[in-house]
Chains A and B, each alone.
Chain A
Amino acid sequence: MSTTTQAPETTRTGLLLRVLPVGMYAGRSRALVERSFLVNRRTWLQVVSGFFEPLFFLFGLGFGFGKLIGDVVGPGGETISYVAYVAPALLAASAMNGAVYDATFNLFFKLKYAKLYDAVLATPLGPLDIAIGEITWALIRGALYGTGFLTVMLGMGLLTSPWAVFALPAAILIAFAFGALGMACTTFMRSWHDFDLVQLALVPMFLFSTTFYPITVYPGAVQFAVKCFPLYHAIEVMRALCTGYVDASIVGHLAYFVVMALVGVVVASRRLGKLLLA
């Protein structure tokens, strides 16, 4: 698990170093991760509670919606239970939510009020260390939640294919991409009022990206719009891996997130550099 996450990251930094001006990266983002760890040790309740939210949804949907709706058609055209249909989508959605909230609300607070990064930048660390450090912490947390959720799915017999071992790395990639993009957006925000826009992006995406029902419910034009949402692709990846109906299209979905992550990291660290070193 750790190799899959770290390998792409080092190659990515190599590439980024050529794109970004010098002085932005000291290779010490680990210090930021350690700091986050220390802080979160004190607010462990908040960390632990994040694990339960998707579980509540899973049980609620399983017991409630599942009984209303009965069985549904899975990604391979087979009949599966509603819980098995909705669980991978919830995993994808919680990867998105966790990463975005961390990269927006928390980052904004530290940037604007706690003035944390002003102190960090007085040390050899650069903006890219901050960007990578914060995203890494968000990913570690996301990985913990993902592991917990997958364990519950396994216990409920919802993981039916060996492909499911790739669900966690995929969730981490998805979270990374959302986190990087969220971070980039945060650097453009001026006040708390702009955060309704974050809500306004997340809530419809959560509700309409085939999380709860198949895309065939929508008329053609809407279907096209939904397919543009990143969460739609995340859900496609998760459903395929959890049920084992994997085909070539998964490469396209994953590529979507690699591009999204790259754009996010480049924009975020450039903007952070401008904001903090100005």
Chain B
Amino acid sequence: MTTTTRERARVCPTPTAVWLVVEGLWTWYRRNWRSSAVSSVVEPVLFLLALGLGFGSQIQPSAATGGLPYVQYLAPALVVASALQTAAFESTYPVLAAFKWNRTFLGIASTPITSRQLAMGQLLWIFLRLSVSSAAFLVVAALLGAVTSVGVIGSLFAALLTAMALAAPLVAYSASLDTEGQQFSAIFRFIVVPMTVFAGTFFPVDQLPAWVRPIVWLTPLWHGTELSRASAFGTGELLPVLGHLVYLTALVVIGARLAVRTFTRRLEV
């Protein structure tokens, strides 16, 4: 029994190499999809049911909800907020685990894949995974009657951009950690949760005290929520939309560059 195919190992061009990293992460995911399906699709749907329909039944459509039933007001923002939450999780523990606990990334560093390709692959993977779960959520939301127009496709885009605006810097940060991940609970509690509560997902930001609002404007979630509602309700104006896009894109680009840097520092010492 000799190997019939005789192939030589080779150095792949960057796009192929990045895709191979995604393939590796996908192989893992295929065996463990259940938990992420629960947290990234089932949970947001439960939120939509409880807050959109249950709590929403207590709310009269008003100017604050854009004149819409609460569930329709909530859905385009909820897709952004839950993509962001999933992104926060996917960018923290799994990344630290791959460096520190399982050390699988250290194994990849011994292959022709470079640190840079590995970082890009990790980010692309998070993007693809979020695309699927966000789209699934929107389909369910549509079935529940929470979707008003095809503009919601723009919401999907906004959700992904926003999520990556958080994921990229967070992946960079996770790759630089050498702890057991205690910082992550602080990040969830002091950044992710307050963002979800205050950045306009559940109620308009102008209901907050004036001094809080500038902090809200710094969060990617607020920009994403604005974009998403603008698209879903067709209320977008050119300049604000451009502003949101630029801000979020800048975060993605800066985050990705930082991620490449921290991956390289971690692996090539």
Contacts and interface: CB of A to CB of B under 8 A. Distances in A.
Q: Decide if A and B touch, CB cutoff 8 A.
A: yes
B27 interface: no
Contacts of A53: 189, 193
B4 interface: no
Interface in B36-88: 38-39, 42-43, 46-47, 49-51, 54-55, 57-59, 62, 64-65, 70
Contacts of B34: 193, 196
B189 A207 contact: no
B190 A63 contact: no
Contact of A65 (B189, B190, B203): B203
Given A53-B189, A68-B203, A195-B35, A213 B197 contact: no
Of listed A53, A56, A63, A68, residue having the most chain B CB within 10 A: A68
A212 interface: yes
Nearest to B70: A68
B46 A64 contact: no
B32 interface: yes
A7 interface: no
Nearest to A194: B35
B51 A207 contact: yes
Given A43-B182, A46-B186, A200 B42 contact: yes
Given A45-B186, A53-B189, A195-B35, A60 B202 contact: yes
Interface in A20-47: 43, 45-46
- Interface size class on chain A is 20 to 34
A228 B70 CA distance: 28
B232 to A, nearest CB: 19
Interface string A152-172: 000000000000000000000
A65 B193 contact: no
Contacts of A199: 35, 38-39, 43
A41 B189 CA distance: 19
B39 A72 contact: no
B104 interface: no
B185 interface: yes
Given A207-B50, A212-B51, A212-B54, A60 B35 contact: no
Main secondary structure of the interface of A (DSSP, over half): helix
Contacts of A193: 32, 34-35
A65 B202 contact: yes
Contacts of B208: 63-64
Given A67-B64, A68-B64, A199-B39, A212 B202 contact: no
A208 B50 contact: yes
Contacts of A46: 182, 185-186
Contacts of A45: 182, 186
Contacts of A52: 189-190
A57 B35 contact: no
Contacts of B203: 63-65, 67-68
B3 interface: no
B55 A212 contact: yes
Nearest to A197: B38
A203 interface: yes
B194 interface: yes
Contacts of A213: 54-55, 57-58
Contact of A64 (B47, B49, B186, B202): B202
Nearest to B198: A60
Given A213-B58, A217-B58, A207 B46 contact: yes
Interface of B: 32, 34-35, 38-39, 42-43, 46-47, 49-51, 54-55, 57-59, 62, 64-65, 70, 182, 185-186, 189-190, 193-194, 197-198, 202-203, 207-209
The 5 A-B pairs of least Cβ separation, nearest first, read: A64-B203, A60-B197, A207-B50, A196-B35, A196-B38
Interface of A: 43, 45-46, 49-50, 52-53, 56-57, 59-61, 63-65, 67-69, 72, 192-193, 195-196, 199-200, 203-204, 207-208, 212-213, 217-218
Given A69-B55, A207-B47, 19 more contacts: A43-B182, A52-B189, A52-B190, A56-B197, A60-B197, A61-B197, A63-B207, A64-B198, A67-B203, A68-B59, A196-B34, A196-B38, A200-B38, A204-B46, A207-B50, A207-B51, A208-B54, A213-B55, A213-B57
